[in-house]
Structure 1
Amino acid sequence: MGQVLDSVFKAKNPVLVMLMTFTLIFLSSCETVYNKSDWSLGGMKKELTFPSVFLSTAFSTILIGVLGTRFAMNEHHFWRPELFIPTVGLLLGITAGGMAVGISSCLTKVGQQSDQIETYLSFGASRWEAGKTVAIEAIRVAMLPTINQMSVIGLITIPGAMSGQILGGGSIMNAVRYQQIITFMVSATTSLGVLSVVYYCIHHLIDTKHRLRPERVHQYKANVFRDIKFLFVGVYSELFQRQEDLVDENTPLIR
């Protein structure tokens, strides 16, 4: 990582910065899905956990990273590698854990409260009304470490970003301001990521016809080889089915 970052920092190319950013997001998503989550979301021919986590991580990290470095840190060239890449790394380090807790909590609660959810649905509740209690509890559990950390930063503990700048001989007040910005950026990124991934879970567990789909929840770690297999099978099935539909459309009804 040090050798790669050294080359990227020296190049000062925004394309390389974005490529490095997406690489970090991809690795963070892999860590969240394949190492930290004991539950998986998917169907017979597709795996939904990794796409939902990757999209949620990319959206929250890039949005908050750009807004924070451009406006909160007041950097016109926010894409500078020595600023943007370490900031993204700090955001991903905490967001990955929160999203893993959110996924596991959401999928576990759906299994435990399936009778309650089905009762709500049978009485005419929408899927968002039926899954509201599950979503609130999953978001609360996932955000609890971040909220607890915010309550002690600067009063009880001196966090890493602030300590690093102080030990490096930087101004204490600048280190404090930088840590405040990073803390709020981490909280915003984690909340957006957790909200997005919980939304994906509820969206796929309760379909558009307001039916609970517990068969889409699997109590095993996601596997990269299984995901690759699902990807190729899904693409092949889609192409094969499309060819069959074209043949059926071109076949005359009366010969």
Structure 2
Amino acid sequence: MAGISFYWGLGLESSLITGTIRVGIQLSILGAILQPIFTYGAKHWWIVLIYVLFMITLASFEASARSRYVFDGMIPCVFASFVISIATTSAFAFGILLEVSPFWNPQYVIPIIGMLLGNGINGVALALNTFLNAVVSDATAEIELCLAYGGTFREASALMTQQAVRVSAMPMLNSMAVMGLISIPGMMTGQILGGSNVVEAARYQMLICYLIGATAFGTILAAIVVCLYVAFDSQNHRLRLERFSKR
């Protein structure tokens, strides 16, 4: 892949090589640390909490790193968006649907939250990049014109907000549309290969898909709302471009 990138002048050689190396190292480390976490985390909830917060922190850094424009406190804002969305869907899943005992059982909590975060990162990254590009660069003139004619900051940013949500939700919606018809999801594939009942595997996968959709959509909306209030003075309805810098 790196050779093809070099031949076509795509400039992705470094990213491809780095990503390939990171996958091997990260999965090796994961395999080494998960077993003790599963063993001791079943008795001590704080071990599971620390690891989940660690995962959310890394997800926040990754989602924020792909945006062309940044602002002070961007990573903590993305972190808070993930925490709110993950906490809501996880409480519903582990406390009501799965009835896990104890409810922090790491064998369930860590893999499922990992899947939720993994799918949420792309959505949040697309949302941040699309919205900030529009507000700070592409649609600045239109926003200023709307504000000058007496429009509120919500009215001035409505089209950009809608576009950011659509763009960021599109990969998730496309994936859900073909799931079970064209693609067999990873969790279901793993359970089938492990000898689990196919119907039971399908039920678990349906639950995961709904949780992924709810978590990703909730995190996307939370992140865009935060960006909206950073980009605008909500009291005076002014655009605050000085709060942003180009990466």
Distance 1:175 1:38 in 2: 40
Look up the match of 1:109. Answer: 134
Say whether 1:86 aligns with 2:119.
no
Alignment partners' CA distance in 1, 2:119 and 2:132: 21
| Contact kept in structure 2, 1:73 and 1:181, CA below 8 Å | no
Q: CA deviation at 1:117?
A: 1.1
Correspondence for 1:22: 53
What are the superposed Cα offsets for residues 110-130 of structure 1, whole Å, 9 maximum, x if unpaired?
121112111221222221121
Q: Is residue 10 from structure 1 mapped to residue 36 from structure 2 by the alignment?
A: no
Match of residue 131 from structure 1: 157
Q: For residue 68 of structure 2, what is the aligned residue in structure 1?
A: 38
> In structure 2, what is the equivalent of residue 252 of structure 1?
none
Contact 2:68 2:133 in 1 (8 A): no
- Among 42, 47, 67, the alignment partner of 2:92 is 67
More RCO (CA 8 Å, sep 6+): 1
- Show the 5 A alignment for 1:143-222: 143-208=169-234, 209-220=236-247
For residues 112 and 160 of structure 1, what CA distance do their matches in structure 2 show? 38
The Cα of 1:197 is off from its aligned counterpart by: 0.7
Paired residues of 1:98 and 1:190 also in contact (CA < 8 A): yes
Distance 2:131 2:84 in 1: 20
TM-score (norm 2): 0.83
State the aligned residue count: 214
Percent identity over the alignment?
A: 32
Q: CA deviation at 1:76?
A: 4.8
Summarize deviations over 1:83-121 as a string: whole Å, max 9, x none: 011000000101011101100000111121112111221
- 1:58 aligned to 83, 87, 90, which one? 83
**Cα distance in 2 for residues equivalent to 1:48 and 1:112:** 23
- Write the letter of the residue equivalent to 2:245: H
Q: Kindly indicate whether the alpha-carbon contact (under 8 Å) linking 1:24 and 1:89 is maintained by their aligned counterparts in 2.
A: yes
Measured on the aligned residues, the alpha-carbon RMSD in Å equals 1.3
1:9 counterpart letter in structure 2: F
**Stretches (4+) displaced over 4 A:** none
Question: For the residues of structure 1 that align with 2:232 and 2:67, how far apart are their CA atoms?
Answer: 21
Question: Partner of 1:131: helix, strand, or coil?
Answer: helix
Task: Check the 8 A contact 1:70/1:77 in 2, yes or no.
Answer: no
State which structure, 1 or 2, has the greater radius of gyration over its C-alpha atoms: 1
Matched, 1:100 2:125: yes
Moved more, 137-146 or 125-134: 125-134
**AA of the residue aligned to 2:32:** Q
TM superposition score normalised by structure 1: 0.81
Cα contact 1:8–1:17 (8 A) shared by 2: yes
Spell out, residue by residue over 1:54-102, the C-alpha distance to the aligned partner (whole angstroms, 9 max, x if none).
1111111122122122223233532100001100000010101110110
Q: Is the 8 A contact 2:128 2:223 kept in 1?
A: yes
Secondary structure at the counterpart of residue 125 of structure 1: coil
